[in-house]
Amino acid sequence: MQSVKTLPTPEHYDELPYSSYSFAYSHPARLSAVARLFGLTPPVNKQFRVLELGSASGGNIIPLAMHYPNVEVIGIDYSSVQVEQGQQLIKSLKLEDRVELICQSITDIDKDIGLFDYIICHGVYSWVPTEVQDAIITTIQNHLTPNGVAYVSYNVYPGWKRLEIIRDMMLYHTRDMQQSKPQDRMAQGRAIVEFIRTMSHETSGIRQMIDAPWEGLKNKADNYLVHEFLEPVNQPCYFLDFAEKLAANKLTYLADAEPHLSFIQNMSQDKLNELIAASRNNQVMLEQYLDFLFFRQFRKSLIVHESAAGSIKRRIDTQIFADLSYTINSCTEEQNAVTNPAESAETQTTAHVGNITAEPTRRFIFNGQQVVTTHNDIDYAILKSISEFDTQVFTKDAVLAVVAEKLDAPHLELHVINLLNRLALSGAAEIWDQLPTTTPLQTIGNQPFVPDVLRNFYKETGHLSDYRHRTIQLNIIQKEIITFLDGEHSHEQLQEQLKKAYDEGRIRLLDKDNQPLADDRVDAALASHLQQALALFRTTNLLYEK
């Protein structure tokens, strides 16, 4: 499909701007935690500088300035439309002194821009020509502080080989539509994929090749699919080639932004030994083999200076888990779990800490997918304690304090540290370092307060970003009350606002038969919805002390 490609221009993104949201894995507090995990000493104060390459309208870096009062962030983007949108947002939030968006090519970055503790480049590297890719690497080499960390995401083979078939279909089918609107081209792109699917037998090679990825793609927004599949440039690479390019520029690969992906899991010891031998004890070769094994299609690589390579510890010091912070998105105990000696290690992460007893296997589901099991009462008490933190940030000391109230056991601190180790390296828990000093409340006061900067951010963007850098979409009830979460409105006054919205037709209440709710039930229903909405504000870390 090379014949239909042209070099990208700003207009490609001006015509259909890419949605600009916060991306949690690129948060400096996550990058710092991963660096510390591997024995490095990243910048330790909260007055760090951040540079984002390909920042669009600033959706990934403006929230950093909202939550860190001393951080300075600069974004570089080629699209004048998106930069102007971001500049207007920055002005409305009164963050001009700490956030700057510059409209220019990455190849033209001023050498006097200075050094940065963290450099972020998400969703750009694979989608730009080779000379811009080279400029990204050079910028990291020249502008990253000696102990700083860079983040670059990119498409990789072998997984993208399958997606290239879908991309080529779309490019071929829309080759004569270069002057058409992106949405019209995407409509035809979707149509050709569905056409090929319906024309082919379900057991055919093409169906087996494209069905699984298309199932996960077909409901994505046009602005995502256009830039992924119809942009002039999309250059996946093998991880090994990327790592070698880093080395040629005096940089070195540290780990994945999801550090558990840099470790071998769910593999028998014999197979593990074979894989290590094949990779000749080389981390880059090992991870390239893992990419083949797991058909990986996307990477989020952390990069440091070559001078830091000698300090990287691939054998993790367990004590580091006593110093980090953690979050989980959910943790539920699976009810009626029973002992199953035949249960495969390939489907679970087992937390064996302390002596195994005859107790039945207890299973906890983290984040809806990771299964963590335990066979002893100490582990069980620790996991139960961790589940109580819900979406809150927690530390080793916080877990220890909770579990100490449940039981008295020797070496309890060591048990907690070892279990946090297991959760972090399996991906069940996220690791953090240097989180904001001001953290959300875990209770709902009578006059709930969402900080002004967050409420104004929502007013301008239609979404929110919490201090964990998660993009938060509000439901209809939350949308009606967020303006009034200024710390001066009581629950009763908030309910009055909901009643007004109901009377004006902005909220509809239906009964179980999908009929309008009876008038005598409206007040109770609105009161219930209000409490549910406030609970969501709490669990998404948006309520603060005024």
Spatial CA neighbour of 73 closest among 45, 114, 35: 114
pLDDT of residue 356: 38
pLDDT of residue 319: 95
293 membership: H or E segment, kind and range: helix 283-294
Q: At residue 524, what is the residue type?
A: A
Q: Where exactly are the structural domains of the chain?
A: 178-230, 319-336+360-432, 452-540
**Angle, CA 455 vertex, CA 453 and CA 459 arms, to 5°:** 110
Per-residue pLDDT of the chain (546 residues; tens, 9 = 90+): 443 444 455 555 556 566 789 999 999 999 999 999 999 999 877 789 999 999 999 999 999 999 999 999 999 999 999 999 999 999 999 999 999 999 999 999 999 999 999 999 999 999 999 999 999 999 999 999 999 999 999 999 999 999 999 999 999 999 999 899 999 999 999 999 999 999 999 999 999 999 999 999 999 999 889 989 999 999 999 999 999 999 999 999 999 999 999 888 767 888 888 998 999 989 999 999 999 999 999 999 999 999 999 999 999 999 999 999 999 988 889 876 554 444 444 444 444 334 434 467 889 999 888 889 998 899 999 999 999 998 889 999 999 999 999 888 889 999 999 999 999 999 999 999 988 877 788 889 999 999 999 999 999 999 999 999 999 999 999 999 999 999 999 999 999 999 999 999 999 999 999 999 999 999 999 999 999 999 999 988 899 998
Please say whether the beta carbons of 4 and 175 come within 8 A: yes
| DSSP per-residue codes, 159-220 | HHHHHHHHHHHHHHHTTT-TTS-HHHHHHHHHHHHHHHHHHS-TTSHHHHHHHHHHHHHTTS
C-alpha to C-alpha distances, 201 to 77, 157, 208, nearest whole angstrom: 44, 27, 10
Helix, strand, or coil (residue 112): helix
**Count of helix runs (H) and strand runs (E) in the chain:** 19, 16
Torsion sign over Cα 424, 428, 433, 439: negative
| DSSP per-residue codes, 367-381 | TTTEEEEE-SHHHHH
Torsion sign over Cα 56, 457, 181, 192: positive
C-alpha to C-alpha distances, 197 to 166, 187, 208, nearest whole angstrom: 11, 16, 10
Residue 475 falls in which region: left (phi positive, over 0), alpha (psi -120 to 50) or beta: beta
Task: Provide CATH code, domain 319-336+360-432.
Answer: 3.90.930
pLDDT of residue 13: 54
Please say whether the beta carbons of 149 and 31 come within 8 A: yes
* Residues in CB range of 8: below 8 A, 6 or more apart: 127, 128, 129, 231, 232, 233
Start-to-end Cα distance in the chain: 57
Report phi then psi at 163, rounded to 5.
-70, -25
Q: At residue 543, what is the residue type?
A: L
Q: How far apart are CA 303 and CA 144, in angstroms?
A: 10
Q: How far apart are CA 485 and CA 490, in angstroms?
A: 9
Please say whether the beta carbons of 287 and 265 come within 8 A: no
Q: How far apart are CA 298 and CA 257, in angstroms?
A: 12
C-alpha to C-alpha distances, 482 to 332, 351, 489, nearest whole angstrom: 30, 42, 11
pLDDT of residue 369: 84
pLDDT of residue 17: 60
**Angle, CA 100 vertex, CA 96 and CA 102 arms, to 5°:** 140
